[in-house]
Amino acid sequence: MLEPIQRIPRYEMLLKDYLKKLSPDSPDWNDAKKSLEIISTAASHSNSAIRKMENLKKLLEIYEMLGEEEDIVNPSNELIKEGQILKLAARNTSAQERYLFL
């Protein structure tokens, strides 16, 4: 059985296929088109909410990893990118690894 979160994209695909096969002269065409617009909006909203929750989950993991010193878990905060960088010292040209969060 499909989970509720999987149903929305599935409905969207079914409606797109249905509209491709349905004649524009059909009395159902306008209703199917409106339904596709509504389900596409719902899918977009759902995907956006999922991304926000994944972002907050990742921020919480970082917060716990940093020892919970700085409160970074806030709905207005967004993790853009993370990864290792090399910091080059200007004086002795040595490289130090750092981990950066944007």
Q: What is the pTM of this model?
A: 0.62
- What lies within 8 Å, CB to CB, of 99 at 6+ separation is 82, 83, 84, 85
pLDDT in tens, 39-91: 999 989 988 888 888 888 888 888 888 777 667 777 777 778 888 888 888 78
pLDDT score of 36 more than 70: yes
Query: What's the rounded Cα separation, in Å, for the pair 51 and 45?
Result: 10
Q: What is the pLDDT of residue 92?
A: 78
pLDDT in tens, 1-13: 556 667 888 889 9
